[in-house]
Amino acid sequence: MTARAWPSREEWQAKAEYAVRTACTKYERLDRAQPDTVWFSLAEEQEFEDLAAPAATEFRALLTAEINRLRSLLPDRPKKGRPRNAWFVVQEGQAYEDACNLGALEEMRRDVQRARRDGQWGVIHWQLGRVRKNYAQIALPAHLLRAHDRMAELQAAAEKRRNEAADAVEQAAIAREVARRATDEAWAQELERRAAIDNPRVIRVGQTPPTEGDQVT
């Protein structure tokens, strides 16, 4: 068996930052360090709710109006199940596009209603953005557009705080790993780990349970 070409101590030390950054994302590291952190201030959270709650009601009404319009264009659409699936696959042209839009908007309306009920205000903002960007047939009134813009500003502020906190946690982890790899103890542990990989101890099933580096036959 060809021996593995391990990096030198200097190369291993130089990889400290890379090892930290690739072990997990900075947001995973942040969630472990600061679980369940809310990145909105209380005032921002209340403002977001005050914008999203009435927007959800109005938005649902707009979705319902467009859903009813599309349903009127597709009077032979089965209510559900296999008949609807069979009907859908034979649609062509504008009828196919209308059928796709109708199904998507019905699902969106359900999501908006559920989010309104459960207070998931970020969902309202996201779904408004989907329609605003991709579905010109629904004309969002000016005050709803302003509400959506303000929710976007609030989310951006919270995301900026989260991103800065994640960067700080990651940089602290990098500093710790750089310091750790500079010690003789860490290098000795690394050499032990490499030896266990290069020279695994072979045992047979039924003997003493294997330890790190063992191969079970």
On whether the CB atoms of residues 161 and 37 are closer than 8 A, the answer is no
Q: What percent of the chain has pLDDT over 90?
A: 84
In this predicted structure, the answer to whether residue 133 has a pLDDT above a threshold of 60 is: yes
Global pTM reads 0.79
Q: Is 93 left (phi over 0), alpha (psi -120 to 50) or beta?
A: left
- Cα 21 to its chain centre, rounded Å, is 18
DSSP 90-143: T--HHHHHHHHHHHHHHHHHHHHHHHHHHT-HHHHHHHHHHHHHH-TTS---HH
Mean of all residue pLDDT scores within the chain: 92
Residue range 84-129, pLDDT digits in tens: 999 998 889 999 999 999 999 999 999 999 999 999 999 999 999 9
The whole-angstrom separation of Cα 52 and Cα 39 is 17
In this predicted structure, the answer to whether residue 212 has a pLDDT above a threshold of 70 is: no
Tokens 């490499």 correspond to: 194
Sign of CA dihedral 105, 64, 123, 55: positive
Nearest to 79 by CA among 108, 106, 110, 113: 106
On whether the CB atoms of residues 170 and 20 are closer than 8 A, the answer is yes
Q: What three-state secondary structure class fits 216?
A: strand
Tokens 């349903």 correspond to: 71
- pLDDT the model gives residue 73: 94
- pLDDT the model gives residue 216: 42
Report the range of poorest mean pLDDT among 20-24, 38-42, 87-91, 202-206. 202-206
Q: Span 10-14, mean pLDDT?
A: 97
- pLDDT the model gives residue 209: 59
The whole-angstrom separation of Cα 78 and Cα 109 is 19
CB atoms within 10 A of CB 105: 21
Give the pair of three-digit tokens for residue 70: 């599309």
Residue range 145-159, pLDDT digits in tens: 999 999 999 999 999
Greatest C-alpha distance within the chain: 77
